[in-house]
Amino acid sequence: MKNIRKKVLLSVMLTLMTVTSQAQNIPVYLDPNQPIEARVKDALSKMTLEEKVALCTAQSKFSSHGVPRLGIPELWMSDGSHGVREEISWDSWTPAGWTNDACTGFPALSCLAATWNPKMAALYGKSIGEEFRYRHKDIMLGPGINIYRTPLNGRNYEYMGEDPYLTSQLVVQYIQNVQNNGVAVCVKHYLLNNQETWRDSVDVQISDRALHEIYLPAWKAAVEKGHAWSIMGSYNKIRGEHGCESQLTLNKILKTDWGFDGAVVSDWGGAHSTMASALGGLDIEMGTWTNGMDKGKTFAYDDYYLGRNYLKALKEGSIPMSNINDKASRILRLIFRTAMNTNRSYGSFGSQEHLNAAREIADEGIVLLKNDNKKRLLPIEAKRYKNILVIGENAIKQLTSGGGAAGLKVSKEISPLSALQTKYGEAIHYTMGYASGPTTYGHVAPSPYSADSLRDEAVKEAQKADLIIYIGGLNKNFRQDCESGDRESLNLPFKQDQLIEALSKVNKNIILTLLSGNAMAMPWKEKIPAIIQGWYLGSEAGNSLVDILSGDVNPSGKLPFTFPVKLADVGAHSFDAESYPGVNYKEIYKEDIFVGYRWNDSKNITALFPFGYGLSYTTFKYGKATFAKNTLTQNGEFKISIPITNTGKIKGKEVVQLYIGEENPSVPRPRKELKGFNKIELAPGETTNITFKITPDMLSFYDDAQQTWRNEPGKFKAYIGSSSTDIKSTIELTFK
C-alpha cells in the first residue's frame, strides 16, 4: 500500500509539472518540455554523490531507487518474456496476492520468430507494451534474443531462433513498438547466454568472427535501429569476464562502438565485484537477496557491489567520479524516457484486442511440418469423422505457467481440448496417454500416474477412433523448456516416443501436434501422416491450434531453427565436451560461425526439418528470377525479381527467402546465409513479383585479423527459395 500511495503522489506531481511548466520557472530537469539531455545535465548537477550511487542499486525485487529529494521517481520493472509477470512481494519471490494482475499470455518468442513477419513483431511489441504501461511498469525485462546454438538450451523458447538476420528484422519492430508506450525494453541476456547448464559460471571462448557474424548482429540492430533504452547483462563469463562486468562487450562494443546511451541492468545476482562492475560497464545492479526490511541486514541492497562499497571507492578515489556521473546520467535518461515521461498513454490490460493479437501471432507462427498427400488428414473435415480421439497431456496442461521467470498468471488460457470440443462437439473424446509431474522450478517432480497404464488406455481407445489428434511435446517443467536447467535428451520426454510408436501400430490416421520451444527427435516420423509444430501459444492457444487444424486459417509459419535428426548433427554437439557443456566451467564454441543450417550445409547433413521450412494447405509456384546485370560494385546495388503464384485453391501466405554465398572465399564461409525475406499473401491464381536488393554489405565477412568487416572481389550466388534447402532459383553475380 505504501508503494501504491507513492506512485499516485508521483503521478499527481508529474501532471502538475506538465500543466504549470509553461507558466512557472521550474528546474530544467522537472520540465517535460526541455530536451532530455538538458534535463539529465541539470538533475546531475543538483544530486549528491550518495544520491547518484543510490540510483545504481535495487530497493526491492523489481524496483531501483529514484531521487526523492528532487522528486525523481524510482524505476519499476517486471519480467516480460511473453506477458507481464504477476506482482510479487517487495522483498521476496512470493506472489503479492493481487486479484487484478492476471495478464494476457502472448505466444513465446520462438513462435513470433516462426511468423517470419516483422508486422507481427510490431503488433506483439505494441500489445505487450500497452499491458506493461497499464501495470505502471517502466522497464520490460525482455525480449530475449540469444542465438539458438543447441536444442538442449532450456530457454530457447524465450528467444528468436538460430539466425542473426531473422532475429534482427523482428527485434527492431518489437522494440520500437514497446517503447512507443513509454516503457523501456531491457533486451536480454547480453551476451552468449546460450545454455542454462552452469549459466552462472561457464566461461565462453569464442572467435571474433563468430562473435561479430553470429552472436552480435541482433544486439547491434536492437541498439542502432531499435534504439533500445536498456540492456540486461548475462550470468555467464565471456573470455574470463562476467557478462555484467565485461570490458569487451559492455564498454567497448556496446557503449563505445555502437554508441548505446541507455542503461545496462544486471541479471539478478549477476554482479560479482565492485571494481569489475563499476569499471566494466554495469549501471544498475539488481539481485535476489534481502533489502533488510524484514529479514535482517544480511547482504541488504546497500551492501551490493554498486552500493556502499562503490560509494567508498569513489570517495577514496580508486574509481573516478566520471564513472558515477556516466552511470547516473544513463539512469536519469532512462527515468526521463519512462517514469517521468508525461506524454505516455495509460495503456490497456487484458483486453479483447490483446487476445486477438495473441491469436493472430500464434496463427501465423504455427508450422505445418508434414501432411501426407495420400491421406490428407489436414485440414480436418468434421463430416468425415464421428469419433475423434484427442491424446496427450498438453491438450489440457496449462503452458503459460512454469519455466522460471517467464511463467505467467493469465486471465485466460484456452486449452487445445476445450477448443476442439467447441469446434467438433460430441465427436471429441479424450485420454491422457502420458503425464509429467507437477511443474516445479529447480528439480524434477515425478508423475503421480503410471506411464504404462496411461499408454495402454490410449492404445485401447485409439483402436476405436476414426481420427487421432495427438497433442504432446515438451512443457515448462525443469529439464524441459525451463530456466536454470537444460534438457537431457533430444527425444520427447515422459515415454512419448514409445506411446506414439504404439499408437501408429493400431491406427494410421494420426495428426501429431507438438507444443514446445525446441526441436526434438522424431524416430516415428515416417509412420505419422501429419505433423504440426505448435509452440507455446499463450492465452488463445487452443483457438489458434484449432484455427490451423480446421483450416479456418491456412498455416504459414516457417521454422526459425533447424530440427536435427540426432543431437550429433548439431554443430555444438559434434565435438567433445569442451564444446558443450564445457569442461571445468570453460566452453569453446568449436563450430565457430557454422551454427544451425550453416553447419548442415558445411557438412552436407540432411536435417529432419530445415531452417525456414513450413508447408501450407495451398501451393506456390516460383517463376524464373530475373536481374538487370550480374555485377555489383562497391557503391552499387543488385536487384533480383521473382514471380510467385498461388497455384492452389485457397488463399495463403508464403515466406520468400533470399540466401547469399561466396563461391571461392579466401576464408571459411557458410555456403549460404539468410540476407532477406518477404512474407506475402496471395489469393488462388494470384501472382506477385518479389524484388530483393543486394548491397555490398550483404556480401561482407568479419576479418578478425583487421578487426573490421571486409568485402573481397569474387563470384557469389544468390539463392531464392521457400526454405534453406528448398531453393527455387539461383543467380550468379560478380562483386568487383
> Annotated active-site positions, please?
267
The Cα 657–Cα 638 span in angstroms is: 16
Best CA proximity match to 39, nearest among 11, 6, 72: 72
| Cα distance between residue 555 and residue 363, in whole Å | 7
Q: Which residues pair with 587 in a beta bridge?
A: 204
The one-letter amino acid at 618 = T
- Buried-exposed string 510-526: b where 16+ CB fall within 10 A, e elsewhere: bbbbbbbbbbbbbebbe
Residue whose entry in the numeric block shows the C-alpha cell 530483393: 692
Strands across the sheet with 652-662, in order? 631-632, 727-735, 714-721, 652-662, 673-682
Other Cβ atoms closer than 10 A to 226:
25
Which backbone phi and psi does 733 adopt, to 5 degrees?
-145, 155
The answer to whether 288 and 61 are in contact (CB under 8 A) is yes
Q: With 0-12 CB in 10 A as exposed, 13-18 as middle and 19+ as buried, what is 463?
A: exposed
- 453, with CB counted inside 10 A (0-12, 13-18, 19+), is exposed
Quote the CA–CA distance of 600 and 411 in Å, as a whole number: 42
**How far is 75 from 3, CA to CA, in rounded Å?**
12
Q: Rounded CA gap, 381 and 499, in Å?
A: 26
Grid coordinates representing 711 are 568485402
* Surface-to-core class of residue 22, CB atoms within 10 Å of its CB (0-12 exposed, 13-18 middle, 19+ buried): exposed
Residue 538 one-letter amino acid: G
Q: Compute φ and ψ for 129, nearest 5 degrees.
A: -65, -40
- Rounded to 10°, the helix 217-224/164-179 angle is 30
d(CA 691, CA 640): 5
Task: Please check whether residue 156 is in contact with residue 171, taking contact to mean a CB–CB distance below 8 angstroms.
Answer: no
Q: Are 153 and 404 in contact (CB under 8 A)?
A: no
The alpha carbon of residue 654 and the mean position of all alpha carbons in its chain are separated, in whole angstroms, by 22
